[in-house]
Structure 1
Amino acid sequence: MPPKKEFKCTNDACELDMFEAHYTYDMPEDTSIEDFACPYCGKTETLEEIKV
């Protein structure tokens, strides 16, 4: 199964609780949370990675 990252949005005005990003093994190793945006509110600075 491909790896995944789980994120939550801390924007108080956002209705999204959390989301998962499933990605291929071809994603660069230096990809970080700064490369993602909340799919609901579009903000990047309010994302936190959920460590499982």
Structure 2
Amino acid sequence: MPETVEVECDNGDCELDMFEVHYTYDVPDDHGVADLSCPYCADSASLSEIVL
């Protein structure tokens, strides 16, 4: 089953607190949170994975 990752945006000006990324089988192995940007504010430097 493909991985699901929860990501939070720590940008103080962004109103989005978290989002989920549902990966498919064809995503490269080296793809990670650093390759993403926030869907609300488009900031990529303020994203971090939520680890439970």
Q: 5+ unaligned residues in a row in structure 2: which ranges?
A: none
Q: Percent identity?
A: 52
* 1:27 aligned residue: 27
Residue of structure 1 in register with 2:38 after alignment: 38
RMSD: 1.0
TM-score, normalised to structure 2, is 0.90
- The TM-score, its normalising length taken from structure 1, stands at 0.90
Moved more, 41-50 or 25-34: 25-34
The aligned residue for residue 16 of structure 1 is 16
Match of 1:4 in 2: 4
> How many residue pairs get matched?
52
In the alignment, what sits opposite 1:49? 49
Superposed CA deviations along residues 9-38 of structure 1, whole A, max 9, x for unmatched, are 000000001000101011111001111000
What residue identity is the alignment partner of 1:49? E
